[in-house]
């Protein structure tokens, strides 16, 4: 599985930990930046990751910013993206099982490396359940 990863300056340190965790667990990683703590704008990196997933270049994406909110708002502007802000492991399980989320958004300022690793474990362990959830997910379309 090929995973696109991106952040802003607030998330760049934890992004390194995420990339290491992914590689140790056998995932192919496409680190789309940034690569330093210089200030950047989170929509630029959210769009890179979202486009890679929407275009099928990567299977799923992981985004980090201070809260995780900015990257999730930005990624969800790309057609075909279901980006879920997951503050704990349970959110990650449900985002996959019920929402078929294809990008997980994480908070760098309000979580720890350990919490993020457990959250990612749950994310990758869970599959979309389909059924009634598929009907609902199919109704998620731009409305104007």
Question: Where do contacts with ligand RB5 occur on this chain (CB under 6 A)?
Answer: 8, 10, 42, 65-67, 69-70
Cβ of residue 139: shortest distance to ligand RB5, in angstroms? 27
Quote the tokens at residue 69. 């909110």
* CB 80 within 8 Å of CB 95: no
What is the CB neighbour count within 10 angstroms for residue 23? 12
Kindly tell me which of 5 and 100 has the beta carbon lying closer to ligand RB5: 5
Kindly tell me which of 100 and 108 has the beta carbon lying closer to ligand RB5: 108
Q: Is 98 a catalytic residue?
A: yes
* CB 88 within 8 Å of CB 122: no
Cβ of residue 103: shortest distance to ligand RB5, in angstroms? 15
Q: Characterize the bridge pairing of strands 83-85 and 28-31.
A: unpaired
| Closest residue to ligand RB5, based on beta-carbon distance | 70
51 forms beta bridges with none
Q: Is 133 a catalytic residue?
A: no
Choose the catalytic residue: 65, 87, 133, 143.
65
Cβ of residue 6: shortest distance to ligand RB5, in angstroms? 12
C-alpha 57: how far from its chain's center? 15
Which active-site residues does the annotation give?
A: 65, 98
């Amino acid at each position: 599985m090929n995973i696109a990863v991106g952040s802003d300056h607030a998330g760049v340190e934890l992004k390194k930990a995420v990339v290491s965790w992914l590689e140790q667990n056998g995932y192919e990683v496409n680190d789309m930046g940034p690569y330093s703590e210089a200030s950047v704008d989170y929509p630029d990196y959210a769009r890179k990751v979202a486009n890679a997933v929407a275009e099928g270049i990567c299977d799923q994406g992981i985004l980090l910013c201070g809260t995780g909110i900015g990257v999730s708002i930005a990624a969800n502007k790309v057609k075909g993206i279901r980006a879920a802000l997951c503050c704990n492991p349970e959110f990650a399980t449900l985002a996959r099982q019920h929402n078929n989320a294809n990008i997980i958004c994480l908070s760098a300022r309000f979580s720890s490396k350990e919490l993020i690793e457990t959250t990612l474990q749950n994310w990758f362990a869970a599959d979309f359940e389909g059924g009634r959830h598929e009907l609902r997910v199919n109704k998620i379309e731009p409305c104007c």
